[in-house]
Structure 1
Amino acid sequence: MKEVQNIRHLSLGELENYFEEMGEKKFRTKQVYEWLWQKHAHSFADMTNLSKELRTKLGEQFSLPALKIDATQYSADGTVKSRFKTYDGHLVEGVLIPTDERKTACVSSQIGCSLSCKFCATGYMDRKRNLSFDEIYDQVVLINQQSERVYDKKLSNIVFMGMGEPLLNYNNVMKAIERISAEDGLFMSPKRITVSTAGVAKQIKKLGDDNVRFKLALSLHAANDTKRNEIMPINETNNIKALIDALNYFYKQTKNEITFEYILFQNFNDSQKDAEELIKIYRQVPADLINIIEYNPIDAFRFSKPDEDTIQNFMNYLEANRVNARLRRSRGKDIDAACGQLANKDRD
């Protein structure tokens, strides 16, 4: 039996051709496209300005698989975590992170992950498959609706820091961002979007070649290869020197903002020597910022969070050396929604 095509995988031109071949008027294309990308229809039945006959015909010819919210948790600090269910029964998580200044969606790009970073709960899950661009888009739409409902404000920012490695699902992530930033999509500026990578040097360079307009964050977490190999196996094939070269190439091509992400682990990467090594890397890349992140413990990983004095000493040393560093406090820890904790933990 032939698989029915997902209608959202048709371009505007392909949709136009389809209606033309059916003998339908040209404006039908615009109506349907609006339902798909701006009115966020979840079924053909939702498309109420089309005739019943046309809706039935579309339902016979195409599928419209939409992501659905399977469960929602609310943190004491206002963070909202959603577990989404895909059309084929997989679960994936996304988070709404509110502050006074901004409302940020943290979205996933894969179901599970293949990189096995030791400190990340998702890294202990198998990678089932990539999310399609429309599934990524749906996450943003659903989290935006939550933001409007709970905080009476639209999303201001999007970070690709959820489950999976975005650059190993390159085409779908690029297409999702294109739809998110399109005038006939969510119309959000790419400058308000950050893609975070564990460090796939070849794909970082590809971002430069493709002249993307969004920001890039590198999950560094250790400032020498020996330590980084220990916690991030990807470093064995994408070492720090290769990443520095790739980031410099990316910046030369795009002039886009680059951020380093650095989680502090007690007695592992939190000493003054570690800070010195981090500064050396920072000096080799035109990075705007180092985000120092609180570690959020997970069951499978032996490390713990340093005490407040150690964290403050680390920050003070960076600042004394004129490094633009910011301490990022965890949000949503009580519902396993903080950095590194997404794992569908409460799944049935």
Structure 2
Amino acid sequence: MATKKRDIRALTKEQLREFFVNHGDKAFRGNQVYEWLWSKAAHSFDDMTNVSKKTREMLDENFVINHIEVDTMQRSKDGTIKNAIKLHDGKIVESVLIPTETRTTACVSSQVGCSLDCKFCATARLKRMRNLNADEIYDQVVAIDKQSRLYHNHKLSNIVFMGMGEPLMNYNNVIKAIDKITSPEGLGMAARRITLSTSGVPKMIKKMADDEVRFNLAVSLHSAIDEVRTSIMPFNATFPLKDLKESLEYWYEKTKRKVTYEYVVWNGINDRKEDIDALIKFCSYIPCKVNLIEYNPIDDGEFQQASERALNNYISNLEMHDIVVNVRRSRGKDIDAACGQLANKS
């Protein structure tokens, strides 16, 4: 019976070196192969041109490279690119390239589907099918970096974990992927250019602080009133705002890095004066900034973007309390690539 081939990218460099020694070869061969797998992102053992044919055949007998494929690519009129990414088992996730004048940002997915149940998000309508492996997350970044160079003439500058899934529910693989992305033996990107966006899992926010991660933290907040937040993000009943607050205070105490609160204002849901006051109070706990995000409908009309007046009320009140606020206009709406729309049509 044929033995199942192992996923070679699940091995550390040391394990690869060991494999070659055990097969009567030199340990440094492991270094060469490791470089091909990560820094050069090889899709096939045949790509490894400085490794002998015999060695490549031996690798092929024992291992597989479960690389992703860009199944379909859509380009928006504003330059945004959305990829439907096909995984080795045929499942699909989406990733997005968002260009501006000064930077290009990769928005990557961490789960197939999502384990949370935010009512305004298209991905939440899919059940969580599985977590992505570290190499599948890494591959999304490699693919977007290539697209950035091809279509926008510069390399990828930023990464946000804001695609499909809750990154903190796939913590180990997300951290492994970020380690590879930031490693000189991987893509060599600076950790400060990476932002992990979470709906708020207090225990895991504390773990990140304890693990002394060097990337940025954003929290998908949308309301600082428990009843309102639970009505739109039902898991808030399990992870209420007081627990979230405590974990964020712990994060700041450990890392001294400010948090970004992502916040959509919806008509008739969180557009009242008391919603603004509650947000201002929540912002007083630790240094932070607020991104007010334009909402992108996901087809049933339950959630509608609040009026410009409501948005301006938020802006003026936050600024009055010296809270940094940015308004994020949506990109890629015409191809359903905007915030909350991923998996809308597939």
TM range (shorter): over 0.9
In structure 2, distance between residues paired with 1:34 and 1:253: 34
Supply the distance in 2 between the matched residues of 1:328 and 1:318 (Cα, whole angstroms).
Answer: 15
Within 5 Å, give how 1:125-136 maps onto structure 2.
Answer: 125-136=126-137
- Across the aligned residues of Structure 1 and Structure 2, the Cα RMSD in angstroms comes to 1.1
> 2:155 matched to which residue of 1?
154
Q: Report the alpha carbon displacement of residue 171 of structure 1 after superposing the two structures with TM.
A: 0.2
Amino acid corresponding to residue 97 of structure 1 in structure 2:
I
User: Which residue pairs with 2:51 in the alignment?
Assistant: 50
Aligned equivalent of 2:333: 333
| Structure-2 separation of matches of 1:7 and 1:182 | 18
Aligned to 2:109: 108
- Is 1:284 aligned to 2:285, yes or no? yes
Kept in 2: contact 1:79–1:331 (CA 8 A)? yes
The count of aligned residue pairs is 345
The answer for the alignment partner of 1:323 in structure 2 is 323
Alignment deviations for residues 149-205 of structure 1 (CA, whole Å, 9 cap, x no partner): 111111111000000000000000000000000010000111111001001011001
Aligned amino acid, residue 323 of structure 1: I
Partner of 1:93: 94
Kindly provide the amino acid, as one letter, of the partner of residue 207 in structure 2.
Answer: K
Q: Is the 8 A contact 2:114 2:128 kept in 1?
A: yes
CA–CA distance in structure 1, aligned partners of residues 61 and 113 of structure 2? 32
1:301 CA drift (Å): 5.3
Contact between 1:199 and 1:234, CA under 8 Å: does it hold in 2?
Answer: no
Match of 1:305 in 2: 305
Give 3-state SS (helix, strand or coil) of 2:114's partner.
coil
Aligned twin of 1:271: 272
The aligned amino acid for 1:290 is: V
Equivalents in 2 of 1:25, 1:226: separation in Å? 62
1:225 aligns with 2:226: yes
In structure 2, the partner of 1:294 is 294
Structure 2: distance between partners of 1:85 and 1:234: 29
> Partners in 2 of 1:4 and 1:257 — Cα distance?
44
Q: What is the identity, as a one-letter code, of the residue corresponding to 1:198?
A: S
TM-score norm. by structure 1 comes to: 0.97
1:95 CA drift (Å): 0.4
Q: Which runs of 5+ in 2 are unaligned?
A: none
Letter matched to residue 182 of structure 1: S
- Residue aligning to 1:198: 199
Q: Which consecutive segments of 4 or more residues in structure 1 shift more than 4 A?
A: none
Query: 1:322-346: CA deviations, max 9, x gaps?
Result: 211111110111100000000161x
Instruction: Point out the more displaced range, 27-36 or 113-122.
Output: 27-36
What is the aligned partner in structure 2 of residue 73 from structure 1? 74
Q: Take 2:194 and 2:22, find their aligned partners in 1: how far apart are those partners? A: 38
Name the CA distance, whole Å, in 1 between partners of 2:44 and 2:300. Answer: 41
Report which stretch shifted further, 216-225 or 299-308.
299-308
Q: What is the aligned partner in structure 2 of residue 170 from structure 1?
A: 171
Deviates more, 1:121-130 or 1:247-256: 247-256
Q: Tell me by how many angstroms 1:270 deviates.
A: 1.6
* Structure 1 residues 21 and 41: alpha-carbon distance in aligned structure 2, compared to 1, 3 A threshold: same
| Residue 272 of structure 1, CA deviation | 2.2
Distance 1:344 1:299 in 2: 9
Question: Deviation per CA, 1:278-319, whole angstroms, max 9, x where unpaired?
Answer: 0000001222x1001111101245010112222222212211
The percentage of aligned residue pairs carrying the same residue is 53
Query: Which secondary structure state, in structure 2, belongs to the residue aligned with residue 284 of structure 1?
Result: coil
- Listed one character per residue, the Cα deviations across residues 230-263 of structure 1 (whole Å, up to 9, x for unaligned) are 0001100111110000011111112223110111
Distance 2:317 2:75 in 1: 36
Q: How many angstroms apart in 2 are the aligned matches of 1:106 and 1:84?
A: 13
Residue 234 of structure 1: aligned partner: 235
Supply the distance in 1 between the matched residues of 2:222 and 2:176 (Cα, whole angstroms).
Answer: 29
1:257 maps to which residue? 258
Letter in 2 for 1:133: A
Secondary structure of the 1:176 match is helix
Deviation of the 1:25 alpha carbon: 2.4
Q: Which residue of 2 aligns with 1:33?
A: 34
CA apart distance, 1:102: 1.1
